[in-house]
Amino acid sequence: MAKSIRVLIADDSSVTRRIVSESLSREADLEIVGAAQDGEEAIAFFKAQKPDVVLLDVDMPTVNGIEALKAIRKLNDSVPVIMFSTLTVRGGEATLDALAAGATDYAAKPTGVGHLDKAMSYLKQEVVPKVRMWGSRYKLRLEKGAGIAPPERVQPSRAANASRGTSSFTVTAPKAPPAATMPPRRRSGPVNCLAIGASTGGPNALAELIGRLPRDLEVPVLIVQHMPPVFTQLLAERLDRGSRLTVKEAFDGAVVRPGEAWVAPGDFHMVVTRQGTETLLRTNQQAAENSCRPAVDVLFRSVADVYGASSLAVVLTGMGRDGTIGCQALSKCGAGILVQDEASSVVWGMPRSVYEAGLAESVLNINDLAAAITTRIRGANSMPAAFAAR
């Protein structure tokens, strides 16, 4: 098997095709096997070349990116397909549609492609690593006799929520961490805040999780999803349409209330602060953490400071370690911490890091997280005050 990762590019812009092809070709381990100008040509190239990764433009003539994606998925349901889109409302909507239709990941197109050096630098930092990571994973699985296994399919949110809102749930138990690093026993008491962190694969996981939460959840929900500006607003709108909760993109000074969910805006960190009797959201553009802004660690640390033991954190699918340091702060003050399992994660990076640090109380399938969260919140918040204080 060839050592290089074979990449198919599809974009209707000849300038973009040239710049992307040149950028990827500079990498010794990447090989361009096709540069299609529309979706129809991309499908033909895919059949002929059988690439390891597809970098697919969202908006193309004849056959658009989503239609091409669906055709590719019929031919191969595991090859990594990275959607390549502009940072616009139209591009963001199409990207979220593509992720829901089976795209593996997405990357934003460089702005100002007329500035070659700037565009090439962006591609090397932001796009090449994704192509390399997904291509390497796919080739490794092929060498072992299997493609990249897609995450477990989930059931429709509303029907599942109605029938499973308070049902039992399944805990996936990987090898336990050393006893010395096991999380401390969580103090009994009410839950006043639910904080969620996600990255790669997060939009679909969030849609599933938020869509199953009940209207009367009784606590605010704070969400960090690694996404650029515009995309986070569109994500919040989609979550709002598919949820019983009210979901909005956060803004500086927003008042935090039970039954509302807030998504951190792209390129801004989000934190909670106390001001008198109110809890407010604050956004800032301080330095990125874990190469991310917004960062899960930033939100989680502020939740630990404001809510302490009365908070519950959830870490969903995502690449890297963002959220681990924040979970350390939450664990120290007695907060609850749940993580998504490997089987239902697109990338078991962030949840795995929290688990291997000995900070997670439970490792749960995405199908079961909402029931576990609801049970925890309703159970803790319905305890008599005298018992809860123990």
Residues recognised as catalytic:
199, 226, 322
Residue type, 378: R
Retrieve residue 377's tokens: 């919140």
Sheet bearing 246-249, strands edge to edge: 246-249, 260-263, 221-225, 193-198, 311-315, 336-340, 362-364
**Cis (ω within 30 of 0) for the bond into 228?**
no
Helices (H), the chain: 14-25, 39-49, 65-75, 89-100, 116-122, 128-143, 157-164, 202-212, 231-241, 296-307, 324-332, 350-356, 366-381, 385-388
- 269-275 and 278-284: which strand pairing? antiparallel
How many CA atoms within 13 Å lie on the side-chain side of 57?
24
Nearest-angstrom CA–CA distance, 226 and 193: 20
